Structure 1
Amino acid sequence: MRSSTSIRAWASALVTASAVAATSTVGVTPHASYSSSIGVLGCKVNTNRIAYWPMAVDCNNICVSLSYSGRQVYLLRIDQSGGAHDVSYDAWNYLITGKSATADPTAGGSVNMETENVDASKCASLINTSGSKLPLSAANSMNFLNSCLVEQAAGNASWVAENYVLYNILDPICTYGYNEVCTLTDWPDQNQPTCPHTLGDPVSLTSQPVYNIEYPTGEKVLAGSSASSTTATPNTANAASNMGCSSWLQCQSTLFWLMSMGAVLHSFLGSL
């Protein structure tokens, strides 16, 4: 029979092995323009601490730890990249240099770093809402939210289903809609949130600006505005592609406006 000491040592080794297995090395590249494929609102989160991982965003693993050269940051994983492990330019710059991109901007490409999924509470300070609830677009996040609510209804853990708040803001960079909370009180019978104003009304919103840190200058620019001319080499991941509207994520303001108009039309037809 094993002694209690040997059993404790075996258990400790098992826990250590599990922790090591959960950590992986990935090539990390800088990303200059905030986006969220699930509709997380940039005006309610720290856009300088975002992870754009290749895998789809799920309902639990939305917070990751990233480490390099003795430095470490927590990142919200709320968007899916086209294949690279991208992070906000400021986070990448800090891990490389120990300084913010606004103070000491650095150019570069993929750098191997250590990452692992961590409890969502580690990213609470990155979310600027009451109770650090994940801020979602009421008009354009329902497909993702519904998947998390279904997961929870099936008896599975779903952090998002337990920790979300809906706003009547249409796009991730917060340029259209109303800065107001909406409610979803009778799901699944109620498949659209109720808001003080019309859901998805594409009225201009200027009180909730979102700023990007431009690559590689380190200058803060209003999201959605034309970035100033910069010089970037081909091996700087998607930082160069962020300078123009080269993908649907870069055209997200227009896309989310069109999606919101569809939501408004659906609501109107449903009331006839």
Structure 2
Amino acid sequence: MRSSTSTRSWATALVAAAAVAATTTVGVTPHASYSSSIGVLGCKVNTNRIAYWPMDVDCNNICVSLSYGGRQVYLLRIDQSGGAHDVSYDAWNYLITGKSATADPTAGGSIDMETENVDASKCAGLISTSGSKLPLSAANSMNFLNSCLVQQAAGNESWVAANYVLYNILDPICTYGYNEVCTLTDWPDQNQATCPHQLGDPVALTSQPVYNIEYPTGEKVLAGAPASAATTTTPNTANAAANHACRSMFQCQSLLFWVLSMGAIMHSFLGSL
């Protein structure tokens, strides 16, 4: 008969083996411009601790651990990259040097690091909302949120469905809308949030700035501002994800409103002829 001591040892070994199996090695590159394909608001999270992984963002595995050289960070996985494993430049720089990119900026490309999915509670300190609930755009996050609510309604675990808050802010870099909480009180009959002001009103929002740490200078710059010469002349191979093309409506928000405005002006002009 197996002793209780040997049984515990066997169980401990299984747990350790499972932990090792869950850890994978990936080539990690620095990413300088905050974005979120599911509409997580940068003014409500730590934009220096974001993971941009190749796979879709799901309703549970939004927090990952990343380790290198004896250092470790937790990252919110709230955007999908074009294929690389990208992370905020500051996080990448810290893992490489032990210092923030603002203090000791370093240039470089893909470096092998160890990563694993961890419980979302590990990323609670990266979210500045009450109860560390995931801050989503009420106007532009409903497709993702709906998928998580459906998942929960089917009896499956959905961390996002149980831990979200909607804001009447249109874009992830928080340049349009109102800094106010909206409610979704009668889902699925109600598929649009109710807000104190008109939902999706593209009024300029200046009280919730989002900042990026520029690659490779380490300078703190307002998100959406023109890139400096140091950034625009950096070879793509050295900064694989710093200047992603406009992949989604969230990253094209300023351009979208400019196009709409110009269209209205041209329509008015032609109508007067």
TM-score under structure 1 length normalisation? 0.91
**Residue 189 of structure 2 aligns with which residue?**
189
Secondary structure of the 1:241 match is: coil
Secondary structure of the 2:106 match is: coil
Task: List gaps (5 residues or longer) in structure 1.
Answer: 259-272
Once structures 1 and 2 are overlaid, which stretch shifts more, 7-16 or 174-183? 7-16
**Residue 178 of structure 2 aligns with which residue?**
178
When residues 251 and 141 of structure 1 are mapped into structure 2, their CA distance, relative to the original with a 3 A threshold, is: closer
Give the superposition deviation at 1:6. Answer: 1.6
Contact preservation (8 Å) 1:171, 1:257: no
Question: Does 1:119 pair with 2:119?
Answer: yes
Amino acid in structure 2 at the alignment position of 1:233: P
**Residue 207 of structure 1 aligns with which residue?**
207
Amino acid in structure 2 at the alignment position of 1:36: S
Secondary structure of the 2:78 match is: strand
Map 1:3-22 to 2 at 5 A.
3-22=3-22
Amino acid in structure 2 at the alignment position of 1:165: V
When residues 144 and 240 of structure 1 are mapped into structure 2, their CA distance, relative to the original with a 3 A threshold, is: closer
CA distance in 1, matches of 2:90, 2:31: 9
Output one character per residue of 1:79-106: Cα deviation in whole Å (capped at 9) or x when no partner: 0000000000000000000000000000
Give the superposition deviation at 1:248. Answer: 2.5
Structure 1 runs of 4+ aligned residues shifted over 6 Å read none
Output one character per residue of 1:179-221: Cα deviation in whole Å (capped at 9) or x when no partner: 0000000000000000000000000000000000000000011
Give the superposition deviation at 1:240. Answer: 5.1
**Residue 106 of structure 1 aligns with which residue?**
106
Contact preservation (8 Å) 1:63, 1:123: yes
Map 1:1-272 to 2 at 5 A.
1-230=1-230, 231-239=233-241, 241-242=243-244, 246-249=245-248, 251-254=251-254
Give the superposition deviation at 1:251. Answer: 3.9
CA distance in 1, matches of 2:214, 2:137: 25
Give the superposition deviation at 1:232. Answer: 1.6
The number of residue pairs the alignment matches comes to 257
CA distance in 2, matches of 1:238, 1:9: 45
When residues 240 and 144 of structure 1 are mapped into structure 2, their CA distance, relative to the original with a 3 A threshold, is: closer
CA distance in 2, matches of 1:17, 1:251: 41
Output one character per residue of 1:222-269: Cα deviation in whole Å (capped at 9) or x when no partner: 001101111422322424534xxx3325843247759xxxxxxxxxxx
CA distance in 2, matches of 1:132, 1:217: 31
Amino acid in structure 2 at the alignment position of 1:16: A
Output one character per residue of 1:12-46: Cα deviation in whole Å (capped at 9) or x when no partner: 11101000001000000000000000000000000
Contact preservation (8 Å) 2:30, 2:242: no
**Residue 268 of structure 1 aligns with which residue?**
none
Output one character per residue of 1:49-103: Cα deviation in whole Å (capped at 9) or x when no partner: 0000000000000000000000000000000000000000000000000000000
When residues 79 and 240 of structure 1 are mapped into structure 2, their CA distance, relative to the original with a 3 A threshold, is: closer
Task: Indicate the percent of aligned positions where both proteins have the same amino acid.
Answer: 83
Task: List gaps (5 residues or longer) in structure 2.
Answer: 259-273
CA distance in 2, matches of 1:252, 1:10: 53
**Residue 261 of structure 2 aligns with which residue?**
none
Secondary structure of the 1:64 match is: strand
Give the superposition deviation at 1:5. Answer: 1.7
Amino acid in structure 1 at the alignment position of 2:154: A
